Amino acid sequence: MESRQQWLTRLKNELSNSPLASNVAFGFILMGLEKLVELEFECPCNPTWNGVFSSAFFIIPAVMAFTLMLIIQGCRCDTWCKKSVSLSSFVPAIVWLILLFLDGQYFACAMTDWKGRFVLVDKAAPQKWCEPTSEGDVPPQELMLRSQQLFVVSQVIGIFLLIFICVGLVVYVVRESCHQEAEQQESNVAELRMLTVSSLRTRT
């Protein structure tokens, strides 16, 4: 029992002290959550509610992920958060947005401006769209093509966000390595000065 508590305490400390570790853990959790949400997602296929309904999937989990990261990193209202910790707290929210944009159906649902029913596209990848239930001015084939274009636009947005995260991660790693190297050099110089001063004092 004690070893289990020690393991949990060590895990909590690791997540609190390492933004990278906590972000990786959150990333895997969000990937599983997105897969569960994807199975249950049903677009209303109503222009009045499509945008609001889909926006809830984008905004609410992202805000929750950001808030949980602030709590894990030890940020409170009565204390100032470090700049690096504050920036790293945005990563899970951005990862969630990337997952939704890469999926495509959430953005496509939000941008759908015709009434219909949410069905699976035949003879295609597992992709759903709002099939019109009544004949309108625009033929269903054109609406399906427009829906597939919305999927592509959504995935392009997700790819750009993913590139942004990757570039930010590379910059962060390079900056941290340079900062550690500079600190190491400063400590070496300080030790050399102390040795020089002590040697001069012993001579006198």
Interacting residues of 38 by C-beta distance below 8 A, sequence separation 6+: 103, 105
The amino acid sitting at 151 is: F
Proportion of the chain above pLDDT 70, given as a percent: 71
If we measure between CA atoms, which residue out of 100, 106, 105, 97 comes closest to residue 165?
97
Confidence check: pLDDT of 133 > 90: no
% of the chain exceeding 90 in pLDDT: 26
Please write the tens of the pLDDT for every residue from 166-196: 888 788 778 877 877 777 777 777 777 777 6
Contact by Cβ (8 Å): 108, 59: no
Average pLDDT, whole number, for the chain?
78
Instruction: Tally DSSP H helices, then E strands, for the chain.
Output: 7, 2
Terminal CA-to-CA distance of the chain, rounded, Å?
Answer: 60
pLDDT mean over 8-23: 57
pTM of the predicted structure, to 2 decimals: 0.74
Tell me the domain boundaries of the chain. Answer: 2-164
Neighbours of 118 (CB within 10 A): 16
How far is Cα 96 from Cα 91, in angstroms, rounded to an integer? 9
The pLDDT tens digits for 95-105 are: 899 999 999 99
C-alpha 176/C-alpha 179 separation (Å) is 5
Residues 148-160: what's their mean pLDDT?
94
Give how far the C-alpha of residue 36 lies from the chain's centroid of Cα atoms, to the nearest Å.
17
CA 158 to CA 183: how far, in whole Å? Answer: 37
Sign, CA torsion 5/7/12/16: positive
